[in-house]
Amino acid sequence: MKSANWSTLIVNAQVVKENETIRDGYVAINGEGRIAAAGPMDGLDERQANTALQRVDAAGSWLLPGFIDVHVHGGYGYDFMEATKEAIDGITKFHNSQGTTTLLATTVTQSREAIEAVLRAADAYRKAGSPYARLGGVHLEGPFISPKWPGAQNPSFIVDPQADWLDAWTEEFPGLIRMMTLAPERENALPLIRRLTDQGIVASAGHTDATYDQMVEATRYGLRHAVHTFNAMTGLHHRNPGVVGAVLTEEVINAEVIADGHHVHPAAIKLLTLAKRKDNLLLITDAMSAAGLGSGEYDLGGLPVIVEDGVARLKAGNTLAGSTLTMIQALRFMVEQVGLSVEEASRLASHNPAKAIGCLEQTGTISEGKLADLLLVSPQLQIGRVWVEGHATTSE
């Protein structure tokens, strides 16, 4: 795609494209906020380059597609359950500063009224447009989960799957709900999974006591995702594979992982990378309101949380309560602790989540014609600059 004028030209970058890395490359952004061209520096047309309104010298830094976080509850003191523009602004601004260019506002198990308030606020916010990370929709985590595996979800609000709730929500907010996490072993869960699938909503397993066989059966109804793999689900045993066994062996299931070194051991994450080789492993943050802030007392879905040294736990029971992770920290962990290349880790943070929620045609890779959602990342894997739809939202 060519444009008479380029709004921004990024040069001398290690450009990570979908299937190759250009070690000394450039990316041009057109006036519509899309990628106009990408290639090696020795192929750059200087006459076209001189039309750029801004030229950014990457000086050898990585240029990556923007991160897509499909599971994030909050950040910088805000929680999506507050259901206000101020809270959504605060969360999208903070996570954008850490490299996230698209995210799903993720709820917790709460009353129907509280969940509907989030849907209403997110719908209004998405229609108005965000100056920070793009709000790609909503991820409903609960309330149709297992009381045996509540994790940091409030057990007082756990209920059996309610098809009429979903119907009311999708009628009032068409296209807003992108993912729903539920326990597939619960009564009425399988028909609800089929209903979700028919409406283009990703059906996800989480906070579940399902057996391996129940998980496999759920895939036949359309189950395609599992939240925070290894956490809040039946584990792997060689005679009872459980939810984890199904996630590892069923290619159709996309697996999330919280790569912070607290939720999952690096060896278990490496096992995931070996099992999930079909673009079906995703980095997520599962961040709560304490992300970006220090130790102290916080709240998650009405439950008191204590954060110490970056680890969030419920005040009652000491259960891990979301994380304080950011996507750039997750990418860095995968490279430094798990042993992936930058290109491999980038794919887990951008391409795979875009594919999972159905927006790969618009974003998730550095490709001509796609939205210019881009990150300049130093060789030490620190965020330099962030662009959303070609608009620089942060600068060095």
For residue 332, CA distances in Å to 17, 99, 308, 379, 380 come to 19, 12, 21, 11, 9
Closest CA to 81 of 103, 110, 124, 102: 110
The distance in angstroms from the start CA to the end CA of the chain is: 29
Angle at 382 between CA 327 and CA 332, to 5 degrees: 50
Rounded-to-integer distance, Cα 215 and Cα 223, Å? 8
Query: How many CA atoms lie less than 13 Å away from 383 in the CB half-sphere?
Result: 26
Identify whether the C-beta of residue 256 lies closer than 8 Å to the C-beta of residue 231. no
What lies within 8 Å, CB to CB, of 182 at 6+ separation is 142, 144, 145, 161, 189, 192, 193, 203, 204, 205, 206, 208
Q: 225: which strand partners?
A: 204, 254
Rounded-to-integer distance, Cα 145 and Cα 172, Å? 23
Rounded-to-integer distance, Cα 123 and Cα 119, Å? 6
Can you tell me which residue has the tokens 């849907």?
A: 119
Rounded-to-integer distance, Cα 344 and Cα 342, Å? 6
Q: Taking each helix axis from N to C terminus, what angle separates 163-172 and 112-128, rounded to the nearest 10 degrees?
A: 20
Active site residues: 286
Rounded-to-integer distance, Cα 240 and Cα 211, Å? 8
Closest CA to 121 of 180, 175, 173: 173
Q: What is the DSSP letter of 340?
A: -
